[in-house]
Amino acid sequence: MVVLLRSGSGGGQFCAEIQAILSFDAICIGCSLWWRLFPKMASHIVGYPRMGPKRELKFALESFWDGKSAAEDLEKVATDLRASIWKQMADAGIKYIPSNTFSYYDQVLDTTAMLGAVPERYSWTGGEIGFDTYFSMARGNATVPAMEMTKWFDTNYHFIVPELGPNTKFSYSSHKAVNEYKEAKALGVDTVPVLVGPVSYLLLSKPAKGVEKGFPLLSLLSSTLPVYKEVIAELKAAGALWIQFDEPTLVLDLDSHQLAAFSAAYTELESALSGLNVLIETYFADIPAESYKTLTSLSGVTAYGFDLVRGTQTLELVKSAGFPAGKYLFAGVVDGRNIWADDLATSLSTLQSLEAVVGKDKLVVSTSCSLMHTAVDLVNETKLDSEIKSWLAFAAQKVVEVNALAKALAGQKDEAYFAANAAAQASRRSSPRVTNEEVQKAAAALKGSDHRRATNVSARLDAQQKKLNLPVLPTTTIGSFPQTVELRRVRREYKAKKISEEEYVTAIKEEINKVVKLQEELDIDVLVHGEPERNDMVEYFGEQLSGFAFTANGWVQSYGSRCVKPPIIYGDVSRPNPMTVFWSKTAQSMTSRPMKGMLTGPVTILNWSFVRNDQPRFETCYQIALAIKKEVEDLEAAGIQVIQIDEAALREGLPLRKAEHAFYLDWAVHSFRITNCEIQDTTQIHTHMCYSNFNDIIHSIINMDADVITIENSRSDEKLLSVFREGVKYGAGIGPGVYDIHSPRIPSTEEIADRINKMLAVLDTNILWVNPDCGLKTRKYTEVKPALTNMVSAAKLIRTQLASAK
């Protein structure tokens, strides 16, 4: 049935009220303010990508940061994006549409702003937090560094880590959640406001600088809850009917004290939440039995959201442990972290089995997590062929899948849609493009060997030093140099066939020569070619490997305005031809100093791709390792003496539950060793890792058996050094980062020298390297040159001091 209503000037408000009463969707059909009402199915989306289908937010942010546009321009882009997202979900028939999942930088930073938990160094004096303070916390400024950034659970998204202590004063300082709810309501869309839950917020925080390491962050719970109560009161006053608290830490291994904090928090909030439907959302893994018991007994909670894609055991837990009568289950059956089309028949079967447990009217179809971890819209894709495209679903398509499943569950199954989906699933299973028997045999043959180099690292380092003749505290950079507008134009025009291959090669050689000469002028010891030919450290390699497909607009937010375009691994992986040898040989010919060959490691390629879900991840990783192994050996044969195999994402792939760590680390570290197990002792193997907590896997990092590891350190307040203070012995070369490259701030020589001295307090002089935290791709040359100048000056200063102390 279609009901047409004519509204007056308050159409949006009228529509929202009708929705609330009738539980119908209201959709504007033109400026005449006529509205159509459609029955809503029980469907929900945890969250949605923020950047926009064409990265509109990225470009608006960077324009604002560069002073090329005003705050009003940035806000206009954000407003338009939010409106389009809400309308898209409403048009698709989603019943529970989220708000406050948009962010200018990060949702955890948004919560820090909401709570007024601004570290003292930003000189915030109170009131509503504006862009100046907000972006200073995220990016730093000319005088103070940014807050720490680290990985969001086991994803490639990074969040800004709150810094808290006994003196932190909490106050309601950002009304973003309420404002965005009102904004949606004015458009005729009644949403579910989403907040990072109070307990997860504290568990994801760290003690502020100067606060005792073991400070109990959960002791601040009672101080944060009054702010949450204010937010809740304003949302209720604005007309909110539901509220979603994201509490993803419930899937971690929590102790009884931490679990008790959830009970205490929601008991305290119960009266404030009275009259609201409350959804507690979890994601990324199975929820442990004790956490499930705690969650399902929380006071005042109406509904529970579970990831049933990565949390396969949660499904059995719900069935075996029972489900609270009268409560809603938001079943995350559509994968929010990958781009494969949902197997609708299988998901529908899962949902039907849950109906018998929770009741037909209490089951809501949802995504496994926020869709921010997948690409935006398959409609925008022009590079994918029709067969592969039929196997995929991006965020926009997943919204449709969710609603299709909800309709089918309600007895309104779209037979044609389900039949097309079944045909696509069958096509993928049977396609000859997916399987390469030769690759599968080579990967299977890897079993039974640990693939270690024959000589221990100490002997190798001696052999390498005789050949390389490096000074004490050798300096290097991580790989990439700034990607200028001109450089991006050259790559873009070459891909579009607007310039010839000869013109392209000439332009890239000129850029490499510029980077080499700059490093020589700065007196850096081990050089890089700057990677001007590379668009992305994973995509560049995937484009030259079999079994990969690529999108034109499959962008995913990594942090802030930084987006990546993950390759799609759809089949068995092999390397048809050398990928980097030409450029590395070219760069080495321009200098007498050692030039690093730059590769991305197999685990990082795996973890930063959309990976096939029809075989175990480790099997795909072994295939990639064999491909990289061939490249390493070709680089060595071409005369490259230092080869860096980046494993930036090794820690990122670590399972969230400790019981699963050993298996992952075994095959991940093994994959790295496969890549370089047969090279000569005199060839120096580097690896690089960044923006994760590495202390708990330091023994696995040692087990990688690299000759030198460079690792992020400065942005995380030198957290890495603590593991060496605690007695861990590291015999290979190591370069903890001496400055944060994700901030425009330029560190002084004295500051860097101080960092080096802190490192020398726990690391031997003969193994320490001096380098930035990460690659320089996102920075400008006006920032890079003075920062590297100061870095080299600091290294020389400490060398002089060490020499005079002998």
Instruction: Give binding residues for 5-methyltetrahydropteroyltri-L-glutamate as ranges.
Output: 58, 156, 562-563, 608
Task: For residues 295 and 282, give the distance between their C-alpha atoms in angstroms, rounded to a whole number.
Answer: 10
Q: Which residues pair with 231 in a beta bridge?
A: none
The alpha helices in 469-616, defined as continuous H runs, are: 485-495, 501-522, 539-542, 581-588, 602-607
Distances (CA, A) of 329 to 42, 245, 250, 729: 11, 14, 16, 49
Q: Binding site for L-homocysteine: which residues?
A: 478-480, 646
Q: Are 630 and 599 a contacting pair, CB within 8 Å?
A: no
Give Cα 143 distance to the centre of its chain: 28
**Helix 395-409 × helix 415-430 angle, to 10°:** 120
> Phi and psi (nearest 5°) for 666?
-60, -50
Please answer whether residues 297 and 271 qualify as being in contact, where contact means their C-beta atoms are separated by less than 8 angstroms.
no
Please say whether the beta carbons of 610 and 155 come within 8 A: no
CB 217 within 8 A of CB 258: no
Identify whether the C-beta of residue 254 lies closer than 8 Å to the C-beta of residue 282. Answer: no
- Residue 447 is classified by DSSP as T
| Distance between CA atoms of residues 171 and 223, nearest Å | 9
Q: How many whole angstroms separate alpha carbon 89 and alpha carbon 96?
A: 9
Binding-site positions for L-methionine read 478-480, 531, 646
Q: Which of 44, 529, 686, 742 is catalytic?
A: 742
Helix axes 617-637, 581-588, angle to 10 degrees: 40
665's tokens: 């680390």
- Residue 595 CB neighbour total at 10 angstroms: 25
| β-bridge pairing 546-549 and 568-574 | antiparallel
Task: Give me the amino acid identity at 203.
Answer: L
Query: Distance between CA atoms of 156 and 610, rounded to whole angstroms?
Result: 11
456 backbone dihedrals φ, ψ, rounded to 5°: -75, 165
- Helix ranges (DSSP H) in 445-534: 457-468, 485-495, 501-522
Local structure of residue 765 (DSSP, 8 states)? G
Instruction: Please give the annotated binding residues, written as ranges.
Output: 58, 156, 478-480, 531, 562-563, 608, 646, 688, 690, 699, 712, 774
- Closest alpha carbon to 405 in 335, 354, 344: 344
Cβ atoms of 526 and 792 closer than 8 Å: no
Strand-pairing partners, residue 770, are 475
For residue 595, give the nearest of 536, 674, 538, 524 by alpha carbon. Answer: 524
Query: Which residue stretches of 285-366 are H helix?
Result: 289-295, 312-321, 344-358
771 and 477 Cβ atoms separated by less than 8 Å: yes
Report the distance separating Cα 707 and Cα 482, nearest Å: 27
CB contact at 8 A, 737 and 694: no
Region class of 100: left (phi > 0), else alpha (psi between -120 and 50), else beta: left
Say which residue the tokens 């061939």 belong to. 630
Residue 590, amino acid: M
CB 681 within 8 A of CB 464: yes
Phi, psi of 124, rounded to the nearest 5 degrees: -75, 135
CA 803 to centroid of chain Cα atoms: 43
Please give the DSSP secondary-structure letter assigned to residue 434. S
Residue 382: phi, psi to the nearest 5? -120, -15
Tokens read off for 101: 């999942």
Query: Which residues share a beta bridge with 709?
Result: 687, 734
- Residue 529 designated active-site: no
Q: Which residues are catalytic?
A: 742
